[in-house]
Structure 1
């Protein structure tokens, strides 16, 4: 790896790491801001989910900006919105102001992963991209580890508002490092306009093949990130009876397991494909194991908590393989739009699921900031039912998928 390639990998990975920390930081903040502002579970779910709404809403404009101005400029510039957002969030004394801050954060980090993938594609040969993309995802997953035990430890001697200041400073430093340290690339002009991008998204949304591929993955990914970034902490405290530090340790285990899954499943998929196992089937098996893991957690099976939450992390990210499945069924000129559309739907579902879980929990009375096990079981049971329904659609035979694969093969030949 050359020095330029190393800079690209490290700097854009740092950007995605910051994005992931912001995604899950409310998991650690939740008990504190709930106490300070008197929030209900519904309030907390709406507040946290606005990150995902801002992220989803910015996807298409962000893609246009990346095409016109490049990863370095756009990532460094938009991260300043995230820094402003955490500043507003940390200084807020009302839920309305906090919601504005959370929305700004989502917009500010919306380009981090897409920009990293674009920058890697410009500096690494195609054969190395699956590994490099997986490594960036793993570094981002480290942010999921940091919002567990490390954040809980910091909060023992620093208030959550002080942590917000620290996150703002970190974000500005990463933005500056990207602006001054990332290599410049020459961007071609004449890329698609914002209107044409929306038209492309609409075209993908009308594709039966897209929905056949996306059906299971968008729901499982929506559930995984909605729970990981907020509600697993409440489940561990309220249902499992874990102390805050024990719950934080399990969150970190989950984060480490997700990092391993991002790299391991990508490598395993390539090996199995050589043996005749389709990526579509392998992805489906991984997502089915994720649903099974959730059922085991809900049933309270007598297995070590660390094992269950590690399985949740490992299998939770397998739906990401759907991005590679898309490449098997759509021509090259549509892959970017198909991926953007998939990301958009996933983040809209995360937004909806976080609100939904909070709304369900709020139908039960809270005691000392905790909700009864029945409330959590009801909320998660609905999510599992949605995943099972989407799994049925995923495994049913469909002509649209076979037809799209045939068209793709003809296009490549």
Structure 2
């Protein structure tokens, strides 16, 4: 009986919301495949493509906190189904657009329409499934949704060759509308007990926490940049710099999307394993950041490596939100994790917008040769992203660096010598422990 109930919940709750998140990922990454067609059909330039693709992230980021409040008040069923109708209308408008203004409006509608795709799914899992299964189902939700990025490669390429991008978006509009109807009709309603805490107080608690502002810049600059690269700029890089033809390009994007989907499962498993050993999820985030910066530097410096290796790391980093949300769950009590995740998502998508649009603006400053952007342009654009990530990493590591510096200073061999050392009494190790600033460990 319990098994049959569980499968009914999977069919009526989990899978409909997973379908919505799948569409969100498909919309997010499809422009990497149709960028060339958009340029030739509508006369857009590189900067326009960067703005058009990144406006999805801008609207998505701006909607996160309001959507979190709506989810708490009205529930995921009604919020998700209503917003997906907006996405369907945006996809339909995108299919008939002929210029940048209408393309921007339709892309913004799509971004708003799928802005609740993940958070609504996670909210439904919390409402309907046992607490001990929440983390596992969250990982599966992200993994299945990431299959949308897989669809936006080889499968979509075959469809586009047969029907063109306009008819493809017409089909997407119909499928999105049908998914909205499915969620509204199939998903059961669950009574939500409103929180007694005021919304401004809970938001100020999140944004006023120093630990949040330690992890948020590092997570946002790494994850947001990975989304920016895979969602748009991997395709022109592989064409202009690596010299891949269309078939090889689609194959590379397909491989990256497969790794993206598997990355969610990988990170979820790693977090589960290290937590059982008493290690914080920050450890994985640090490793992810170091590997991501190394992969980007390998691309920028043209290291003698197969290009698939650094681009595979870029793809996997795109699902490091699993790690970031695990860290946030350690920082805040359960009643605050929803808004805390939403606040972190604002920065994820906000940086993705800045990175994607900014890269397009930088690339546009170089003239094209035989229709290809110069390698130097990509190196400058990607290098600026890396510089910001390194700065965020240093900011994240400051508490540890301060602790390490203090510890080194407590060792007599490394202690600095001054005139006062000849007349002042020697301070014992126990006394120096008392002098340790109280907030050093608190920031972690």
Same fold (TM over 0.5): yes
Paired residues of 2:222 and 2:317 also in contact (CA < 8 A) = no
Give the aligned partner of residue 15 of structure 1: 20
Looking at structure 2, the residues matched to 100 and 400 of structure 1 have their Cα atoms a distance apart, in angstroms, of 47
Equivalent in 71, 75, 81 of residue 76 of structure 2: 71
After superposition, the C-alpha distances for 1:113-161 in whole angstroms (9 at most, x for unaligned) are: 0010011111211111111101110111111111112222222121111
Give the aligned partner of residue 408 of structure 1: none
Rg comparison, structure with higher value: 2
Give the aligned partner of residue 390 of structure 1: 392
Looking at structure 2, the residues matched to 241 and 198 of structure 1 have their Cα atoms a distance apart, in angstroms, of 52
Match status 1:4 vs 2:8: yes
Looking at structure 2, the residues matched to 199 and 356 of structure 1 have their Cα atoms a distance apart, in angstroms, of 34
Distance 1:183 1:354, change over 3 A: same
Paired residues of 1:13 and 1:116 also in contact (CA < 8 A) = yes
Greater shift after overlay, 335-344 or 362-371? 362-371
Looking at structure 1, the residues matched to 196 and 113 of structure 2 have their Cα atoms a distance apart, in angstroms, of 22
Match status 1:32 vs 2:37: yes
Q: CA deviation at 1:401?
A: 7.5
Looking at structure 1, the residues matched to 334 and 100 of structure 2 have their Cα atoms a distance apart, in angstroms, of 44
Looking at structure 1, the residues matched to 366 and 353 of structure 2 have their Cα atoms a distance apart, in angstroms, of 21
Paired residues of 1:86 and 1:102 also in contact (CA < 8 A) = yes
Q: Give the CA RMSD over aligned residues.
A: 1.9
Distance 1:191 1:258, change over 3 A: farther
Structure 2: gaps of 5 or more residues: 401-437
Looking at structure 2, the residues matched to 319 and 400 of structure 1 have their Cα atoms a distance apart, in angstroms, of 27
Give the aligned partner of residue 411 of structure 1: none
Give the aligned partner of residue 49 of structure 1: 54
Distance 1:190 1:260, change over 3 A: closer
Q: CA deviation at 1:318?
A: 2.5
| TM-score (ref. length: structure 2) | 0.86
Looking at structure 1, the residues matched to 204 and 92 of structure 2 have their Cα atoms a distance apart, in angstroms, of 36
Greater shift after overlay, 239-248 or 202-211? 202-211
Paired residues of 1:42 and 1:362 also in contact (CA < 8 A) = yes
Q: CA deviation at 1:227?
A: 1.1
After superposition, the C-alpha distances for 1:223-247 in whole angstroms (9 at most, x for unaligned) are: 0111111111111111111112211
Give the aligned partner of residue 331 of structure 1: 333
Match status 1:124 vs 2:129: yes
3-state SS, counterpart of residue 399 of structure 2:
coil
Looking at structure 1, the residues matched to 200 and 160 of structure 2 have their Cα atoms a distance apart, in angstroms, of 43
Looking at structure 1, the residues matched to 160 and 212 of structure 2 have their Cα atoms a distance apart, in angstroms, of 44
Give the aligned partner of residue 359 of structure 1: 361
Give the aligned partner of residue 244 of structure 1: 246
Q: CA deviation at 1:281?
A: 1.5
| TM-score (ref. length: structure 1) | 0.92
Greater shift after overlay, 379-388 or 290-299? 290-299
Structure 1: gaps of 5 or more residues: 406-413
Q: CA deviation at 1:298?
A: 2.6
After superposition, the C-alpha distances for 1:43-63 in whole angstroms (9 at most, x for unaligned) are: 111111111111112112211
Paired residues of 2:293 and 2:389 also in contact (CA < 8 A) = yes
Match status 1:265 vs 2:282: no
Give the aligned partner of residue 441 of structure 2: 402
Q: CA deviation at 1:215?
A: 2.5
Looking at structure 2, the residues matched to 401 and 141 of structure 1 have their Cα atoms a distance apart, in angstroms, of 38
Give the aligned partner of residue 184 of structure 1: 189
Paired residues of 2:366 and 2:377 also in contact (CA < 8 A) = yes
